[in-house]
Amino acid sequence: MRFSLKHIPEQSKLLLLSLMVGVLSGCAAVVLDWSIHTVKRLLNQGFHGSYDWQYLALPGIGMLISLLLVRYVIRDNIGHGVTKALLAVSRNDSKIKPHNTWSSMLTSSITIGFGGSVGAEAPIVYTGAAIGSNLGRIFGLSYRNITLLLGCGAAGAVAGIFKAPLAGVLFTLEILLFNVSMSSLLPLLISTISATVVSYIFRGQTPVFACTLTPFSMANIPFYIILGVVGGFGSLYFMRTTLHLEDRIGKIANPYLRWGVCALALGMLIFLFPPLYGEGYESLGALLNGQDLALEGRSVLSFLLDWRWGVPLFFALIFFLKVLAMTATNAGGGVGGTFGPTLFAGAILGFVVARSLNLAGAGVPEQNFVLVGMAALMAGVMQAPMTAIFLIAEISGGYELLIPLILTATVAFGTVRIFEKYSIYTKRIAQSGDLLTHDSDQAVLTLMRVDALIRDKYPRVQIDATLREVVSIVSQTDAAVMAVLDSRGRFQGMVDLTTARKVLLDPSKYDTWHVYNIMESAPDYIHAGEKMDSVMSKFDRTGAWRLPVIDEDRRYLGFISKSRLLTAYRDELKEIASED
C-alpha cells in the first residue's frame, strides 16, 4: 500500500489516511469498551453477599497487574494519555512510539475492568493519536500532516468511544491542535464520522447515556447559573487536588510501596462508596434516569440515605473523594485518565446541587442538572467549553437542553479562568515551557529547538595561545569570531576578529601577546536545551548578533547567530501556517 500511495499528492494521501485512521480508532474504541466490560463481567459474576467485599481487593490487583505490565513488558510511561499526546506535538515532532497503539488499551482495560476509579477516554485518545502519528510517519508525511493525523486519531477515538463525531472534532480543536486551518477540518471530519460509524455498527446507535429529561424552563436559568458557579469552583478543586496528590504520592520512591498505599486507600474508598468502583457509569446512568442507586446493604454508610439531607451529603462526599480514588489508581500503577472521572464527578455535583435546591423548595429537574453538571465540570477542568457543550448533548441526545448547557458551561469556564489559566492537561506542560497555544508566535518558539540551531563552524583557540597561532588559524577561516577555550574545553570568551584586526596586523605582538589579551567576554550564554523564548529574550536584551551555547559543565558547543535564529523562526512559522 505504501508503494501505491507513493505518487499520490500529499493532500490526497492525507484524506485517504484520515479515513484509515478513523476506522482504526473506531475499532480501537470498540475493542477497549468490550475489553473493560468483559473483564468486569468475568470478575463480578462469582461475587454475592450483603456487602461488596471484592471492592477491597480487586482494584488493587488490577493496578498491580498494570504496574507489572508497564514495568517489565512495555517499559515506558504511558499514563496521562492526553497530556502525552500534547507533549508529542510540542516536544517530539508529533512522534508517538508504536507500542502506544495497543499498550494503553491493554493496561487500561485491566485497570478499569478490575475496578480502578479512572476513565478509558484518555487511554483511547492516546491510542488514536498513536495510530495517526505512526501511519503518518510510515507514509512519509510532513510534520504538519503527521500532527494533523495525530489529531485525527484522537478525534476519532473520542467520536468512537462516545458515538459523538462533532465532539471529537471540537476536542481536537480546543485541546490538542494549536493551529488548524479550514482545509484541515475535512480530514478531522472524515476521521470522526468513520469512527462513529464503526462504533454504531458494533455498539448500536443508542446514545451512550440515553436518559429521560424535562423540557427546559426559563424559570430555572438562575439555578443553572448557580450550578455553573459551583461547577467552576468544583473544577478548581478537582484540578488542584489531583495535581497536588500526584506530587505527594509521587514522592514515594519504591513503586511497590506506592502501589500498596494506593491500593489500600482505593479499596477502602470503594468499599465505603461503591459508586467509585470503575468508571462509575452505571451510577451515572441511574442518576440521569431518576433511579435510586440501590446502595442499601452495599455500603456501611447507606444509613445516611435515610435522612433527607443525608442524600446530598453522601453524594457530596463521593464528589470530593472521586479525586482521591482517581489519583490513587493512577499513582499506584493503574492506567487511566481524568476524562471519565470528570464526567462522573460533574454528574454527581449536578445531582448534589439539584437535590439541595429541591430540599430548599426550588423544584428543579434533577436529571437535567445531572446532565448539565457534566458539562460544567468538563468545561472547567479541561477548559474546553465547546467540547463540553456538544459532547454532553451528543452522548445523551439532550439537545433540548442546549441553552442551559451553553449557559452553565460558560459560567463554569469563566469562573475557573479567574483563578487558573491552564487546564488539567496543560498545567504541567505550561510549567515546563513546552505548551503549544493558539498564539502562532508562541507556538513557533515552542517548536524551535536550541540543538537544531547550533553552528560549530567557528574556529577554536586555547586561552594561552599566542597571537602567531591566532593569525595562523585566521588565515584558514572566514568566520567573524573565534571561541576561546581552556584545556578542558570550557568556554572562556571569544575573539571578535573585526575588533582585533589592528592587533593581528602588528607582527611585533605575535609572540608577546596571547589570546587572553584580546578576547572579550560573551554578552550572555545559551544553555543546551534552553527554551526558545528565553533565548530570544537574551538576544533582545544584549543586542548581540551571536551568542555561545554551553552545556551544564560550561563546555563549548557552538554559536547561535541572530540570522540563523530568524531564518528558522520564519521557516517554522511558514510551516505551521501553511494551507497546503
pLDDT in tens, 324-357: 999 999 999 999 989 999 999 999 999 999 999 9
3-state helix vs strand vs coil in the chain, percent to 5: 65, 5, 30
Is 70 exceeded by the pLDDT of residue 580?
Answer: no
Cα–Cα distance between 86 and 225 in angstroms, integer?
A: 32
For the chain, the average pLDDT equals 86
Q: Is 48 left (phi over 0), alpha (psi -120 to 50) or beta?
A: beta
What kind of architecture, by CATH, is found in domain 218-434? Orthogonal Bundle (1.10)
Two domains, one topology: 10-203 and 444-577: no
> What is the number of other CB atoms lying within 10 angstroms of the CB of residue 315?
25
Domain boundaries, the chain: 10-203, 218-434, 444-577
Q: What is the structure's pLDDT at 69? A: 95
Q: What is the structure's pLDDT at 178? A: 62
Q: How far is CA 199 from CA 182, 300, 393, in A?
A: 26, 39, 18
DSSP class of 102 = T
Under 8 Å between Cβ of 257 and 316 = no
Average pLDDT over residues 304-332: 91
The fold for domain 10-203 equals Clc chloride channel (1.10.3080)
Q: What is the structure's pLDDT at 573? A: 63
Pick the closest to residue 227 from 399, 342, 368, 51 (CA basis). Answer: 368
Q: What is the structure's pLDDT at 320? A: 96
Q: Evaluate if pTM is beyond 0.75.
A: yes
Is 70 exceeded by the pLDDT of residue 459?
Answer: yes
Beta bridge partners of 556: 550
In this structure, of 275-289, 295-309, 557-571, the range with the lowest mean pLDDT score is: 295-309
Cα–Cα distance between 479 and 561 in angstroms, integer?
A: 12
Beta bridge partners of 292: none
Burial zone of 74 (CB within 10 Å; 0-12 exposed, 13-18 middle, 19+ buried): buried
Is 60 exceeded by the pLDDT of residue 549?
Answer: yes
* Amino acid in position 16: L
Phi/psi at 279 (nearest 5 deg)? -70, -25
In this structure, of 156-160, 247-251, 344-348, 570-574, the range with the lowest mean pLDDT score is: 570-574
Which residues contact residue 263 at a Cβ distance below 8 angstroms, ignoring those fewer than 6 apart?
Answer: 59, 60, 63, 64, 328, 332
pLDDT digits (tens, 9 = 90+) for 84-119: 888 887 776 788 999 999 999 999 999 999 999 999
Q: What is the structure's pLDDT at 2? A: 47
Q: What is the structure's pLDDT at 6? A: 60
Q: What is the structure's pLDDT at 74? A: 92
Pick the closest to residue 475 from 424, 444, 510, 449 (CA basis). Answer: 510
Cα–Cα distance between 306 and 230 in angstroms, integer?
A: 26
Burial zone of 241 (CB within 10 Å; 0-12 exposed, 13-18 middle, 19+ buried): middle
Which residues contact residue 472 at a Cβ distance below 8 angstroms, ignoring those fewer than 6 apart?
Answer: none
Which residues contact residue 391 at a Cβ distance below 8 angstroms, ignoring those fewer than 6 apart?
Answer: 158, 162, 164, 167, 170, 171, 375, 378
Is 80 exceeded by the pLDDT of residue 577?
Answer: no
Rank 355-364, 464-473, 553-562 by mean pLDDT and report only the highest: 355-364
The helix (run of H) or strand (run of E) holding residue 388 is helix 385-396
Rank 173-182, 407-416, 563-572 by mean pLDDT and report only the highest: 407-416
**Residue with the larger pLDDT of the pair 258 and 511:** 258
In this structure, of 14-23, 303-312, 324-333, the range with the lowest mean pLDDT score is: 303-312
What kind of architecture, by CATH, is found in domain 444-577? Roll (3.10)
